[in-house]
Amino acid sequence: MSESDLELASRRAIYQQIADAPGIHFRALLNHLDYAKGTLQYHLRWLADEGLVDVSEDGQYTRYYPAAEFDEADRTVMNALRREYSRRILAHLLTDGPLSTSDLSDRVGKADSTVSWHLSKLTEAELVTKQREGRRVAYAVDDPDRVRYLYTIHRQSFTDRVVDRLLGLWDSY
């Protein structure tokens, strides 16, 4: 990346926000930056076309990453970590797993159907696996080291102190 790529203050600010919060989505960028929607869209498109920003679809949001810093597996993990209840589910699975849908529902304080929806998205993304144990289905994190590492490195860009306490990551890295 050359100096001239980010010569505009607005473009630098957008890029910096993406670097500070990898996986941020468009609406969150709008909320953090004081730009019109069209201006933000233009600069994001420019940054992507110039290869400075990678774009990732997670089924719900379009998310933005600094180019070449995250491989596809990392972007998949970060996409999940950017969703509050997926992040909490992953945290419980990392600390207490494997767990069933009802166990997770009790821990995160959401209905079984909500937890089930998040688990299906995490399973589709190949972040969690499910194992049948008789009539019980238990879920576990597929690559716990990657999830822990990415959460730890980018934890300041998440606003979920519940997960911080649960994973006890302040002291582990």
Confidence at residue 161, expressed as pLDDT on a 0 to 100 scale = 55
- Which structural domains are found in the chain, ordered by start? 3-69 (1.10.10.10), 77-172 (1.10.10.10)
Query: Is residue 139 a contact partner of residue 129, using CB atoms and an 8 Å limit?
Result: yes
Query: Residue-wise pLDDT tens for the chain (173 aa)?
Result: 555 666 888 899 999 999 999 999 999 899 989 899 999 999 999 999 999 999 998 878 899 999 988 999 999 999 999 888 899 999 999 998 799 999 999 988 899 899 999 999 999 999 999 999 888 899 999 999 999 999 888 888 876 555 555 555 444 44
Beta strands in the chain (DSSP E): 24-25, 53-57, 62-66, 128-133, 136-141
Confidence at residue 60, expressed as pLDDT on a 0 to 100 scale = 83
Which helix (H) or strand (E) segment holds residue 22: the answer is none
Confidence at residue 166, expressed as pLDDT on a 0 to 100 scale = 54
pTM for this one?
0.79
